[in-house]
Amino acid sequence: MKIIRYNATKQLEKIYNRGFIKSHRVEEKVKRIIEDVRIFGDEALLRYMRKFDKVKLTAKQLRISEREISGAYQSISGDFVTQLKVIIENINRFYRKQLKKSWRIKDTDGLILGEKYEPLERLGVYVPAGTAPLVSTVYMTVLPAKIAGVKKIVLVSPPDKNGNINPHILVVADLLKVDGVYRIGGAQAIAALAFGTKTIPKVDKIVGPGNIYVSEAKRQVFGYVDIDMVAGPTELVIVANRFSDPKFIIADLKAQAEHAGGLAVLITNSKALAKTVKAQLNINGAIILTKNIRQAMEIANTIAPEHLEIFVKNPQRMLKFVHNAGAVFLGPYSPTAVGDYVAGPSHVLPTAGTARFFSGLSVYDFIKSIHIIGYSKKALEKVRLPLEKIASIEGLTEHLESVKARFL
């Protein structure tokens, strides 16, 4: 790992602007796949499965059968479901706090204003399985959607070379009462969810991480459906000082290095810590040496990482300086791994600096707000003059007349 000084502007800019790299080749390839699936549906899906996954199936075999799901229970260890229940309770406890209630106000003039919260009807969840089956993505996406009240949830995941889906993914999906699981991955799976095929239902929103083709496909279908975010490689930034245990820091940076192309950064004001970590780690990443911890937090905010670990004596005091991060992990016993698997908040988090304006997946992502407006004649009379003034400035005469008609 390189040691970078806080005033090494060009080197820091490369980290800050990591999300601006774009591949026109990938963009065009994904565009063709999406259009192909939109026009030819299942036929295109099966063709791409033969091409990319080397698996030959019929359209009927795209959906995982009840028999396969039952068989999946025979392929997992006996304590898996028991441990899963602990995780499910942690996630449910966190997301129940986010539930919103519809509200309405009414004044003495008969004016009614409010919001009605409605869950989305249909959700598509993408679960990666290329380098490793991301079992945790199933419960990290499905549970907040279930708590929000989403009516129908389907899941897609790429098959292995034998055409199978990891049994743990199937068991979790079944326990969480997912309405359908389909063995399809890549940009073609995103296209199928966005536009629907004879076999795979069209959804209102697509969530879940994926490779560069999946992320690009989500970006391109946004507008036809909603998406959670366009996620890039995973990221970890650690802020630490001379009181921090290098053993924990090194372990967490090594864990981050398990992800291909991920960002691993240590920001510290301790030269001794920087040298210790540099000597023991040979991974892609950077160590940024700052004047003090406040400056370290400023740089962390500019990076706006997916995961931010704070290794100082009183990490909670540093929260007031955190403005941009997907999730914050406080103290030496809060490794990123606990957030990835069991803590409660979803591990679907903004990357590539988008934590400046995106949030981690939440119940709010699966709820839409419907505005409620009700006026009596008396209430309308009170806003008639300002309404007519703005409408006249905009030149929309029929808008004016629609109000005047109520007072003739």
Tens of pLDDT, residue by residue over 150-203, are 999 999 999 999 999 999 999 999 999 999 999 999 999 999 999 999 999 999
Q: Tokens 């679907």 correspond to what residue? A: 348
Residue of 341, 237, 187 whose CA lies nearest to 16: 237
Cα of first residue to Cα of last residue in the chain, in angstroms, is 77
Let me know if residue 102 belongs to a domain.
yes
Residue 232: the pLDDT is 83
Q: Position of tokens 């897609």?
A: 156
Long-range contacts from 223-229, C-beta under 8 angstroms, 24+ separation: 224/194, 224/195, 225/124, 225/193, 225/194, 226/120, 228/348, 228/361, 228/365, 229/348, 229/350, 229/351, 229/354, 229/358
What's the pLDDT score for residue 20? 61
Domain annotation covers residue 364: no
Show which of 195, 227, 259 is a domain's final residue.
Answer: 227
Question: Are residues 180 and 201 in contact, defined by beta-carbon separation less than 8 angstroms?
Answer: yes
How distant, in Å, are the alpha carbons of 18, 209, 215, 232, 298 from that of 22? 10, 18, 12, 11, 27
Number of structural domains (the chain) is 3
For residues 187 and 391, what is the distance between their CA atoms, to the nearest angstrom?
46
Is 397 part of any domain?
yes
* Residues of the chain where predicted confidence (pLDDT) is lower than 50: none
Can you give 273-319 as a three-state secondary structure string? HHHHHHHHCCCCCEEEECCCHHHHHHHHHHHCCCEEEEECCCHHHHH
Sign of CA pseudo-dihedral 17, 348, 65, 42 = negative
Burial label, 155 (beta-carbon count in 10 A; 0-12, 13-18, 19+): buried
Question: 46 and 200 in contact (C-beta within 8 Å)?
Answer: no
Residues 339 and 314 reside in one and the same domain: yes
In a domain, 28, yes or no: no
Convert the pLDDT of each residue in 81-126 to its tens digit. Answer: 999 999 999 999 999 999 989 999 999 999 999 999 999 999 999 9
Could you report the per-residue pLDDT of 54-69, keeping only the tens digit for each?
A: 999 999 999 999 999 9
User: For residues 252 and 298, what is the distance between their CA atoms, to the nearest angstrom?
Assistant: 21
CATH number of the domain bearing residue 314: 3.40.50.1980
Distances (CA, A) of 65 to 17, 61, 155, 263: 45, 8, 13, 39
Domain end (from 227, 242, 274): 227
Classified as helix, coil or strand, 368 is strand
In whole angstroms, what is the distance from residue 235 CA to residue 264 CA?
A: 6
State whether 126 and 192 are in the same domain: yes
Based on the domain organization, do 142 and 264 belong to the same domain? no
Domain-located, residue 264: yes
Contacts of 286 (CB under 8 A, 6+ apart): 1, 2, 3, 4, 11, 15, 264, 265, 266
Catalytic residue among 216, 235, 306, 309: 306
Whether 89 sits among the annotated catalytic residues: the reply is no
Residue 222 sits in the same domain as residue 247: no
Q: In terms of residue numbers, what domain contains 74?
A: 41-227
CA nearest to 308, candidates 366, 235, 361, 257: 235
52 and 17 belong to one structural domain:
no
Which of 168, 216, 307, 347 does the annotation list as catalytic?
307
Q: Dihedral through CA 352, CA 353, CA 356, CA 362, nearest 10?
A: 30
239 & 276 share domain: yes
- The pLDDT score that the predictor gives to residue 124 is 98
Q: Are residues 140 and 242 in the same domain?
A: no
381 is known as an active-site residue: no
Q: Indicate whether 259 and 347 sit together in one domain.
A: yes
